[in-house]
Structure 1
Amino acid sequence: MMKKAASLLWLLPIGMILHGETIDNSSLLPKYKPDSEVRMERRADGTSETPEWVKSLILVEFRVDSAIQNGTIQDLIPVLDHLAETGVNGIWVSPPLNGGNGYGNFGIHTISPRLVGETDRQKQWQALKTFVDEAHKRNIRVFFDIINWGVTKHEGGAPILKEKPEWFGEYYAPYAGYLFNWKNKELNEWYADQIEEWLQKTGADGFRCDCAPFYCGYGPFREVKERMRKAGRKILFISEHASSRKNVFDFDQVSFCYKNEKGSQQVRWVSDLYLKKNIVDMIRSGEELRMRDDYDREPGRERFYTLMLSCHDSKNYIVKGSPIAIGYQAIFAPFLPLWYLGEEWNNPSKFFVDYFYKRDKHPIPKSWRLYYNLIDWQAKEQNRDFFEQVKKMIRIRRQHPEIFEYFPDDHRNSNICKVSTDRNGMLQAYARFRSGKAVLVVPNNGKSDETFRITIPIAEAKLPRGKTFQVTDLMSEKALGQAQQTFSAAIPTGALGVFLIQ
């Protein structure tokens, strides 16, 4: 992959290579606005509303003590700087809860002294708020992970098991803990109170809601959303599983849901689907963009969907240094991109079983390779060429918000259309378009460098007829000249051609 990534240096401006300059996208991040200045965007049918900043999100998940070995929340400022440089403006922070590994925990009302570096409750809140404030200074929104399946029995068991036994049901071996009894009204009210306290004390922009709505349904999150709206807070809830949204969850972490050959409903965790099927046809039909709790509902009709490349549930990174894998289906497609920290520079995938097992003293799921994978910051420099390519693609997305941040009420109506080329057997080239201009995304997933003859989709992209267009290679920032219907461009193998037509 290093050799392939190195061959893509042609895409960077020559001056940048000669002078050792690197791309910094931090100035392109949409400015953080306090809630009083945030506009809520309502769907035409009135079924939901979301903060205006949702459409600009590019999200990355990380674990506090994997991002910085043995680190605390106070040590993560360099991570914030890295993400701002990358162009990322949304972070999903894995659970900073006490007990176990975060997902196995002692309850939403607890905070890990190890992860925040404090034992006093008020100082813990302050440490979390300081981190959120530092993120906001960098125009990054923060979403903490909260757990609703139950609590762990590890490390002596969660104290709340003895304090409130009526709040719990059966022991669930795969999670090594006891499930919450969500039929208990008192539990629902208490849980909503805890979420509200987290929002008030930390200033976070919302939550990634683990396992939701699979265990707890919509109730406690709906209650908090209503409270926050009345208080003027413009927050975001991200469900884990494909949900019916119900104006409670703004979008889902896992967007793809399908039935296997036996008719059993499944979720698709590894997002390489659009490298196997036609991305434009699938978006137009909504294929697999179904709701897990309402499978027969028409697919693909919500406004926002994520394209999750990887997360803590992943065994390995999926991009592996491929500009096509990250750019074609995530950065330029009509989704909210989401991946696990390190994907953007192909962080080495190492499974630190011994290290974490000795420290945490509980079994480690083999499927959580990335969650237990320490981030190797030196590897970012070793893979600098690919990292610059990723930043370049994100920069293009940020420089053309009128195209890439356009999310219609119905995802099937996304501003995407097919682009024809003279090269058969390649992934479907496509255009993102709006307001009389288009960005063409042309992948060369073949085995050799090729010169493509590309047809401008004038009618499909709603471009003016009978005009001459200026063609610019956005990756190299070079003007390719003028064209009326077709133009030619050389694209190396494994690379993504990105062209502005205006």
Structure 2
Amino acid sequence: MKKNWWKESIVYQIYPKSFNDSNGDGIGDIRGIIEKLDYLKELGVNVLWISPMLESPQDDNGYDISDYRRIYKDYGTMQDYEELLFQAHERGIKVLMDLVVNHTSDEHQWFLESKKSKDNPYRDYYIWKNPVNGKEPNNWGGAFGGSAWEYDNETQMYYLHLFSKKQPDLNWENEKVRQEVYDMMKFWCDKGIDGFRMDVISMISKDQAFPDGEVKSGLYGDFGPYSVHGPRVHEFLQEMNREVLSKYDIMTVGETSGVTIEEAQKYAGEDSGELNMVFQFEHVEDTSPHAKFGKWTTDRYDFKAFKKTMIKWQEELQGKAWNSLFLGNHDQPRSVSRFGNDNPAYRETSAKMLATCLHMMQGTPYVYQGEELGMTNAYFHKLEDYKDIESIQYYTELTDAGLMEPDYMMKCLMLRSRDNARTPMQWDGSEKAGFTDGEPWIKINPNCKEINAASQLDDLDSIFHYYQKLIALRKEKDIIVYGEFEPLCREDDQIFAYTRKLDEERLLTVCNFSEQSAEFEVPAEFEGSQCLITNLDRKVFKGKIVLKPYEAFVLYK
């Protein structure tokens, strides 16, 4: 297996709006990130993926870009961004930019021109279609609810937006669009960025017949089969690689919802000529038979299905493509609330267990801001506390149509809304959590009094220090990065266990995912091994042992 710096890295995702506010306006900013670089260095991460910081009306918190070469004014200036790059590089930390090129904002100059007339030079930068029988060109629904088409009175045509109506999709069939994107990418690479996380990159190629989609639930057809992993997506990414990516020593990760093992190998195979790795979402998508409306359910995740999926990606990409390892991000609920147990009795233990399970696997681990502190869901009780466009639109659509009771939908939001991950970073136990001196743009989780960075930095037994130790181990031992993965206890209802193997070295990771005790037989070959890390105080790792709730340990020989 080839060795690469990005395989050996640990990535920390920053959601800039909620990370650290340096000027008291209630919104996180670039100078706020600079202030915390020493904290990130102490944690040990060596790559930052920062969610979009470019000029935007903020309809979808920056994933609607109106100028690809300007920094969003509330986050700072280009000089601030250049200083962030310099200061991060001084500390041995690389910076990934969030590349959003499936769509722009409807306030982008290209779209403003495109709307003016049917023969405008920019018309073909976007996807415009005539009405069919006085209605939308097809029945596709948008990812945030409602139709994926918006009517424009001026030219009496519809434009496609797979997300918000303020996020019109770019027409990648147009070579000029692709060249604009590549030129912009070179602009940032030449500034010194270290790579790209590519937003919904698997959606850039659409089936040009634009057929109706299957109506699975709700009111609209599914665009997935015609817009995800579309007919020319690999051609476009190979072109992007030739034109830009291959010319720089950078890291690339594509967000590829719905990706299969076979597709992942095309996107991120060792010699695919496309990307370094992809985000697949199978382990964080609902497999519950009762989840009629996608993620909007109160059902707890199915551990055995989750384990099976995690094992599948480890085994089937092994030696063929590289995994991204994550349990949370800006679009997911807090991982300890979802996969662990955020009850105070178990929160710390289960947060450490989840980190152990993930960081000992093969792939590049991603830590979402606050995950290293065991931050939890916010559990907002009132609709007005939610800011996320997806949460608000689905609440309205599903309750107005009588498909869901308002009380039940509120419970779904408390468990599944993207805002759970977007509450401000909890730096200390003060009223505003050390995030801002002003009024925060979204409510702060009141548990910041108990869960915050200041108290954990002082406590050597904290979740922060546990993450720090896991990260240090990964840098120290090649087996954790490159070792072969082999699962144990495949059918066990509580335990996730696996071994790693590299030449003569062996590693055993054992995690109890439940709040009940669980029996485990330590394989004879690991008797007398060194314990690299454990979240409880077990001293003996021999024969049949009884794991405590959420216990985890790693043995090495």
TM-score bracket for this pair, using the shorter chain length: 0.5 to 0.7
Question: What displacement does 1:224 show?
Answer: 4.3
Q: Which amino acid aligns with 1:77?
A: I
Question: Paired residue for 2:479, among 403, 411, 421?
Answer: 403
Q: Which amino acid aligns with 2:368?
A: Y
Within 5 A, what are the aligned runs for 1:153-168?
153=106, 157-163=107-113, 164-168=122-126
Q: Report which stretch shifted further, 383-392 or 87-96.
A: 383-392
Question: What displacement does 1:78 show?
Answer: 3.7
Aligned twin of 1:343: 371
Q: Which amino acid aligns with 1:439?
A: L
Question: What displacement does 1:212 show?
Answer: 0.4
Question: Paired residue for 2:66, among 106, 111, 132?
Answer: 106
Aligned equivalents of 1:136, 1:470: Cα separation in 2: 42
Aligned twin of 2:88: 135
Q: What's the secondary structure of 1:405's corresponding residue?
A: helix
Aligned twin of 2:274: 248
- The one-character-per-residue Cα deviations of 1:187-221 (angstroms, maximum 9, x if unpaired) are 111111001111112x1111011110212534555
Q: Report which stretch shifted further, 162-171 or 346-355.
A: 346-355
Pair 1:387 & 2:405 matched: no
Question: What displacement does 1:452 show?
Answer: 5.8
Instruction: Tell me: CA distance 1:278–1:73, structure 2 relative to 1, closer, same or farther (3 Å).
Output: closer
Question: Paired residue for 1:305, among 302, 320, 323?
Answer: 323
Instruction: Tell me: CA distance 1:355–1:448, structure 2 relative to 1, closer, same or farther (3 Å).
Output: closer
Aligned equivalents of 2:204, 2:393: Cα separation in 1: 23
Within 5 A, what are the aligned runs for 1:2-401?
52-69=4-21, 70-99=27-56, 100=58, 101-115=61-75, 117-118=76-77, 124=78, 126-153=79-106, 157-163=107-113, 164-169=122-127, 170-172=159-161, 174-177=163-166, 178-201=168-191, 203-216=192-205, 217-218=233-234, 221-228=237-244, 231=247, 233-241=248-256, 242=259, 243=264, 244-245=266-267, 246-254=272-280, 256=282, 275-277=303-305, 279=307, 286=313, 302-317=320-335, 318=338, 319=340, 320=342, 321=347, 322-323=350-351, 325-350=353-378, 367-370=417-420, 372-378=422-428, 379-382=452-455, 385-400=462-477
Q: Which amino acid aligns with 1:494?
A: Y
Q: What's the secondary structure of 2:39's corresponding residue?
A: helix
Q: Which amino acid aligns with 2:472?
A: R
Instruction: Tell me: CA distance 1:113–1:193, structure 2 relative to 1, closer, same or farther (3 Å).
Output: same
Q: Which amino acid aligns with 2:111?
A: L
Q: Which amino acid aligns with 1:312?
A: H
Q: What's the secondary structure of 2:196's corresponding residue?
A: strand
Aligned twin of 1:465: none
- Matched positions, count: 403
Q: What's the secondary structure of 1:337's corresponding residue?
A: strand
Question: What displacement does 1:306 show?
Answer: 1.4
Q: Structure 2 length normalisation: TM-score?
A: 0.62
Instruction: Tell me: CA distance 1:498–1:372, structure 2 relative to 1, closer, same or farther (3 Å).
Output: closer
Aligned equivalents of 1:209, 1:490: Cα separation in 2: 44
Q: Structure 1 length normalisation: TM-score?
A: 0.68
Alpha carbons 1:442, 1:496 under 8 Å: kept? yes
Instruction: Tell me: CA distance 1:239–1:269, structure 2 relative to 1, closer, same or farther (3 Å).
Output: farther
Question: What displacement does 1:389 show?
Answer: 2.5
Alpha carbons 2:487, 2:499 under 8 Å: kept? yes
Question: What displacement does 1:172 show?
Answer: 2.0
Instruction: Tell me: CA distance 1:404–1:285, structure 2 relative to 1, closer, same or farther (3 Å).
Output: same
Aligned equivalents of 1:397, 1:267: Cα separation in 2: 35
Instruction: Tell me: CA distance 1:74–1:355, structure 2 relative to 1, closer, same or farther (3 Å).
Output: farther
Alpha carbons 1:472, 1:479 under 8 Å: kept? no
Instruction: Tell me: CA distance 1:278–1:192, structure 2 relative to 1, closer, same or farther (3 Å).
Output: closer
Alpha carbons 1:108, 1:147 under 8 Å: kept? no
Aligned twin of 1:475: 533
Aligned equivalents of 1:274, 1:373: Cα separation in 2: 26
Pair 1:497 & 2:553 matched: yes
Question: What displacement does 1:429 show?
Answer: 2.6
- The one-character-per-residue Cα deviations of 1:405-446 (angstroms, maximum 9, x if unpaired) are 106xxxxxx3335379xxx86414322232323222222445
Aligned equivalents of 2:302, 2:318: Cα separation in 1: 15
Question: What displacement does 1:239 show?
Answer: 0.7
| Structure with the bigger percentage of strand | 1
- The one-character-per-residue Cα deviations of 1:256-287 (angstroms, maximum 9, x if unpaired) are 3899799xxx99999x98942585x7677558
Alpha carbons 1:275, 1:427 under 8 Å: kept? no
Aligned equivalents of 1:211, 1:143: Cα separation in 2: 16
Q: Which amino acid aligns with 1:473?
A: C
Aligned equivalents of 1:277, 1:135: Cα separation in 2: 39
Aligned equivalents of 1:495, 1:133: Cα separation in 2: 41
RMSD: 4.1
Aligned twin of 1:442: 510
Q: Which amino acid aligns with 2:423?
A: N
Q: Which amino acid aligns with 1:84?
A: K
Question: What displacement does 1:86 show?
Answer: 1.9
Show structure 2 runs of 5+ residues with no match: 22-26, 114-121, 128-158, 206-232, 395-412, 429-451
Alpha carbons 2:197, 2:255 under 8 Å: kept? yes
Alpha carbons 2:352, 2:463 under 8 Å: kept? no
Question: What displacement does 1:57 show?
Answer: 1.9
Q: Which amino acid aligns with 1:160?
A: W
Instruction: Tell me: CA distance 1:399–1:470, structure 2 relative to 1, closer, same or farther (3 Å).
Output: farther
Alpha carbons 2:334, 2:421 under 8 Å: kept? no
Question: What displacement does 1:382 show?
Answer: 4.6
Question: What displacement does 1:141 show?
Answer: 2.0
Instruction: Tell me: CA distance 1:452–1:314, structure 2 relative to 1, closer, same or farther (3 Å).
Output: closer
Aligned equivalents of 1:283, 1:353: Cα separation in 2: 34
Q: What's the secondary structure of 1:311's corresponding residue?
A: coil
